[in-house]
Amino acid sequence: MALAVSLKGITKRFPGVVANDNITFDVEEGTIHALVGENGAGKSTLMKILYGMQQADEGTMTVNGTPVHFRSPTDAIAAGIGMVHQHFQLASNFTVLENIILGMEPGRGTIDFDGAREKLVKLEEAYGLDVDPDAYVSELAVGEKQRIEILKVLYRGARILILDEPTAVLVPQEVTELFENLRHLKAEGVTIIFINHKLDEVLALADRITVIRRGRTIDTVDPNDVTTKDLAELMVGSELPTPSIEARDIPDERVLEVVGLGLKATEGRDRLTDVSFYVRRGEIVGIAGVEGNGQLELLETIIGMRTQTSGTVTLNGENIDGWTTAERLDKGMGYIPEDRHTHGLLLPAPLWENAMLGHQRTPPYGNGFLINPKGAREKTQEIVDKYDVRTVGVEVAALALSGGNQQKLLFGREMEAKPDLLIAAQPTRGIDVGAQAAIWGQLREARSAGMGVLLASADFEELLGLSDRLYVIFEGRLVAELDPKAVTPEVLGKHMTGAEV
């Protein structure tokens, strides 16, 4: 079969690090080819080179048999390559059609909306990507936004698609729909390259899988010949643990208690209704739910980012209603937000400034009045070393780190503050199996040390493996409390979707 893409000897150096080291990567036409590796292994850099966002220091590229050298994404798009980034690049206040044509407006004259609509509808019909052209993006589900991003690159004539973590923010039903769409695209002759950390999904979808580690090509394998365990070990070079924890007696000392919590929406149904539960010291309590059913609002209300309209929250027996987020952090809460870029990190700032966010009033970062830069840098280096944050130094900007290393920095920041309660929203979303295993290990250690953990996750293996108790949230209400060691994923899924059990 002919090659759609052939990269030979690709090398890319940055100050203090070699991101790609003599990588070879071939993709056959009309196939789905997965690229896997740890965070920081060089996957995104390699794809940015293919898409013209960066240029290799050494090596050659061939697309559809023609040698190419892209100086910008414009060159790559002209060669039929499109890239869908992990973080959607859509204007929420525009319609689907307006987003599709954004950036392609004519230099002179008016936009031919009728012609654009006709072309978009034909693409939707040809590739099985159904989205209402007149719907506003702000009104759409995450899976629909993913389809818009794919339609954008197809609209520009792409026949080679690069997808960076396409399932990171999707719930299981949306993943199923996306995979059906991708198989349809493949059947129509489109070549798909995708980066994914969820190895079971990789095995289910890919025709071929290339593994890279520390910037080097390790192997290209047939998914029929390997297991998720095989892939994980190729990625990290060693065997990885599972998320399971041993059962043990947990003292009935409640570090968090929530009673009758309600949160009204500005319009539509209430976000939270009469939510009551507790977290004890030395236990992990899981919150399961399909995205959009209130788990994010619940965690943000507990940490003080939202103000409840009814009910009470107590921390270590003290009512904290009306406390600010800063006061809650100072009094024993830690928080790992769902969106690390929006609520967790200052991306242009150096690592040592990010490591003290939320804790800058306490030693070694500061004394309540003044920041201690020397102490902050030293503590950040401790976090970097302890949590295996791969960086050349603490002066590096957070945006220079891979997603997994950003998450490890954020996780280390909260853990090192030694909170009584750690609130973790999707703590391993979008990170590789090595970083995931490391965070699982830290959560087990936190539990053993007597910390209470409130864990919201879309990862069934994570929830069932780590939780001592498990609640299900549906349409803003807790609808079930389950034994994670006894419930099956099928039964859990039915509770999450409101089906009869």
What is the C-alpha to C-alpha distance for residues 333 and 422, in angstroms, rounded to an integer?
Answer: 6
pLDDT mean over 33-48: 88
Q: Average pLDDT over the chain, rounded to whole? A: 89
Q: Give me the phi and psi of 490, to 5 degrees please.
A: -65, -45
Q: Considering the domain boundaries, does residue 243 fall inside one?
A: no
Examine the domain organization and report whether 305 and 441 are in the same domain: yes
For 37-97, strand residue ranges (E) read 58-63, 66-68, 81-84
pLDDT of residue 424: 94
pLDDT of residue 500: 58
Under the banding of pLDDT at 50, 70 and 90, the label for residue 240 is low
Examine the domain organization and report whether 321 and 442 are in the same domain: yes
Q: Is the pLDDT of residue 442 over 80?
A: yes
> 3-state SS string over 88-153?
CCCCCCCEHHHHHHCCCCCCCCCCCHHHHHHHHHHHHHHHCCCCCCCCEHHHCCHHHHHHHHHHHH
Torsion-angle region of 61 (φ positive above 0: left; ψ -120 to 50: alpha; else: beta): beta
Task: Point out the domain boundary residue: 418, 438, 473.
Answer: 418
pLDDT of residue 248: 63
> Tokens standing for 168?
């990171």
Q: Considering the domain boundaries, does residue 246 fall inside one?
A: no
CATH code for the domain of 447 = 3.40.50.300
Number of domains within the chain: 3
Task: Point out the domain boundary residue: 418, 446, 475.
Answer: 418
pLDDT of residue 76: 95
Q: Considering the domain boundaries, does residue 365 fall inside one?
A: yes
Q: Considering the domain boundaries, does residue 369 fall inside one?
A: yes
pLDDT, tens digit, for every residue of 69-93?
Answer: 999 999 999 999 999 887 788 888 8
pLDDT of residue 324: 96
Q: Considering the domain boundaries, does residue 372 fall inside one?
A: yes
Examine the domain organization and report whether 357 and 291 are in the same domain: no
pLDDT of residue 171: 67
Q: Considering the domain boundaries, does residue 471 fall inside one?
A: yes
Examine the domain organization and report whether 84 and 9 are in the same domain: yes
pLDDT of residue 246: 65
Examine the domain organization and report whether 452 and 317 are in the same domain: yes
Examine the domain organization and report whether 305 and 319 are in the same domain: yes
Upstream peptide bond of 172 is cis (omega within 30 degrees of 0): no
Q: Are 185 and 192 in contact (CB under 8 A)?
A: yes
pLDDT, tens digit, for every residue of 129-154?
Answer: 888 999 998 888 777 888 898 999 89
Examine the domain organization and report whether 230 and 326 are in the same domain: no
Examine the domain organization and report whether 72 and 61 are in the same domain: yes
Domain range holding 488?
253-332+421-501
Examine the domain organization and report whether 412 and 428 are in the same domain: no
Examine the domain organization and report whether 197 and 51 are in the same domain: yes
> 3-state SS string over 275-316?
EEEEEECCCEEEEECCCCCCHHHHHHHHHCCCCCCEEEEEEC
Q: Considering the domain boundaries, does residue 242 fall inside one?
A: no
Examine the domain organization and report whether 407 and 367 are in the same domain: yes
pLDDT of residue 267: 61
Task: Point out the domain boundary residue: 236, 262, 289.
Answer: 236
Q: Considering the domain boundaries, does residue 298 fall inside one?
A: yes
pLDDT of residue 490: 80
Q: Are 446 and 453 in contact (CB under 8 A)?
A: yes
Examine the domain organization and report whether 153 and 9 are in the same domain: yes
